[in-house]
């Protein structure tokens, strides 16, 4: 199963006899609160216009639990996540397509969570809402209650110790911007730098200027050049398990399975006992 879907393919599927459940996951990481700017409001964006039939899902409230020692976007409570997905109309035997405002991070978080929870057929709209050329709607009738019940463990989940071990035994990709990896800047977390042994692989290098993923062959060549060779265990982390999900998605497009360290740097750096590496060298 392909992990992504084009806008034209989605339009065709939505017009078919068994259309997918469509989830709108618009979200942005905002560090502008100190400047007095209002936070991004995904629900308001959804209300202003969304792909017909889409249901809004709140990343912070429904795809994560409260921030704390496990990071800024820890895994949601399994029962709460299942309830949220059923409210959104997710069925175990019906395909799901998720999209966001174009960056792809939030949609990938929803894709990864549903896959981890055992849903067999989830795809991300490649390029997000900007790639959609059809009409938008503002109506939001409640969907029929779904029946999806999470069964966690379908894809690999890494904790801090597992990520540290994989950085030594395989390859652990850091999906954040290079300057954060090197420790030159850190706008959010306690300290800058990276997990010792991790390899810098910014997720924005997996897409073109239009926000769509590079061809699978190009992605495969990129990841292999960074150490994801055949037979090597692969993992990903980022700041809080959101952009890292996008990198796991890019790896899936390339045909490379990878685990996600959901706690990511926000969990790792909060523990002063965890080692921190700085500079361009993984070690």
Active site (catalytic) residues: 238
Which residues partner with 234 through β-bridges?
Answer: 171
CA-based nearest residue to 283, from 220, 171, 226, 198: 198
| Helices 243-253 and 216-225, packing angle to 10 deg | 110
* Beta-sheet strand order (sheet of 96-99): 4-5, 122-125, 96-99, 21-24, 55-56
Task: Determine contact, residues 237/198, Cβ cutoff 8 Å.
Answer: yes
Residue 94: is it exposed, middle or buried by C-beta count within 10 angstroms (0-12/13-18/19+)? middle
CA atoms within 13 A on the CB side of 195: 32
């Amino acid at each position: 199963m392909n992990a992504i879907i084009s806008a034209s393919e989605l339009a065709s599927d939505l017009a078919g006899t068994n259309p997918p459940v469509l989830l709108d996951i618009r979200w942005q990481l905002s560090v502008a609160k100190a400047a007095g700017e209002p936070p991004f409001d995904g629900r308001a964006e959804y209300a202003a216009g969304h792909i017909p039939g889409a249901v809004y899902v709140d990343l912070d409230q429904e795809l994560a639990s409260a921030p704390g020692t496990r990071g800024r976007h820890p895994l949601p409570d399994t029962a709460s996540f299942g309830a949220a997905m059923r409210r959104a109309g997710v069925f175990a035997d019906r395909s799901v397509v998720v999209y966001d405002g174009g960056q792809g991070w939030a949609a990938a978080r929803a894709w990864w969570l549903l896959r981890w929870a055992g849903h067999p057929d989830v795809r991300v709209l490649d390029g997000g809402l900007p790639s959609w050329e059809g009409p938008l709607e503002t109506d939001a009738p409640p969907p029929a209650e779904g029946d999806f019940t999470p069964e966690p463990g379908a894809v690999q989940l890494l904790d801090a110790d597992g990520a540290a071990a994989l950085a030594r035994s395989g390859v652990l990709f850091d999906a954040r911007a290079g300057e954060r990896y090197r420790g030159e800047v850190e706008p959010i977390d306690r300290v800058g730098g990276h997990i010792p042994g991790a390899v810098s692989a910014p997720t924005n290098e997996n897409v073109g200027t239009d926000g769509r993923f590079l061809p699978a062959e190009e992605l495969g060549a990129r990841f292999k050049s960074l150490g994801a060779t055949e037979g090597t265990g692969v993992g990903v982390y980022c700041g809080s398990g959101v952009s890292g999900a996008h990198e796991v998605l890019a790896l899936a497009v390339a045909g490379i399975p990878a685990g996600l360290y959901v706690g990511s740097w926000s969990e790792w750096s909060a523990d002063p006992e965890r080692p921190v590496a700085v500079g361009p060298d993984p070690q």
